[in-house]
Amino acid sequence: MNSTATWGMEELETGAPPVENNESATSRNSLATLQELVLRLLCEVQCINEVSPLTIESGFDFYDEVSRFEIDLIRRALLQTGGHQVQAARLLNLKVTTLNSKIKHYQINPSALGNVFPLVDPNHHEELQHA
């Protein structure tokens, strides 16, 4: 059997996938990890750019600020869970229908925040509730 990731005659005949060497698998894993970190960093930088400091002297609209805060919380929860709305709802202690309604209301694109692996283990929140 070949030790590379290319299909040889033996693999085509048996239908078995090619065997990868450890170096190739490690390299691909490192690249995937690096891609994930870059995407997360870009998301965080985008969040920083969206934050504008409040000054009481110039005044502000309470409801606009509450909306902006909600949007930020929802985006962060979706980012933490890899775009999974059920898990994000658990993190935010919201019903899934409420979160979905807010996502639609604020026109948040959950799939744009779901391109990364979740930072939070889906069972972690349940473990905290039972502790």
Domains of the chain: 1-51 (no CATH), 54-131 (1.10.10)
pLDDT digits 0-9 by tens, 15-36: 555 555 677 777 778 887 887 7
Q: How far apart are CA 17 and CA 8, in angstroms?
A: 9
Q: How confident is the model at residue 1 (pLDDT cuts 50, 70, 90)?
A: very low
Q: How far apart are CA 62 and CA 82, in angstroms?
A: 30
18 CB contacts (<8 Å, ≥6 apart)?
1, 2, 4, 5, 6, 7, 8, 11
Q: How far is CA 87 from each of CA 3, 55, 80, 83, 95, rounded to the nearest angstrom?
A: 40, 35, 9, 9, 10
> What does pLDDT average to over the chain?
74
* CA of residue 33 relative to chain centroid, distance: 13
Q: How confident is the model at residue 49 (pLDDT cuts 50, 70, 90)?
A: low
| Confidence (pLDDT) at 74 | 94
pLDDT digits 0-9 by tens, 89-123: 999 999 999 999 999 999 998 887 666 556 555 55
The answer to whether the Cα torsion of 97, 95, 52, 56 is positive or negative is: positive
Least confident of 28-37, 61-70, 78-87, 120-129: 120-129
Q: How far apart are CA 95 and CA 101, in angstroms?
A: 10
The pTM (predicted TM-score) of the whole model is 0.55
For the chain, the residue count is 131
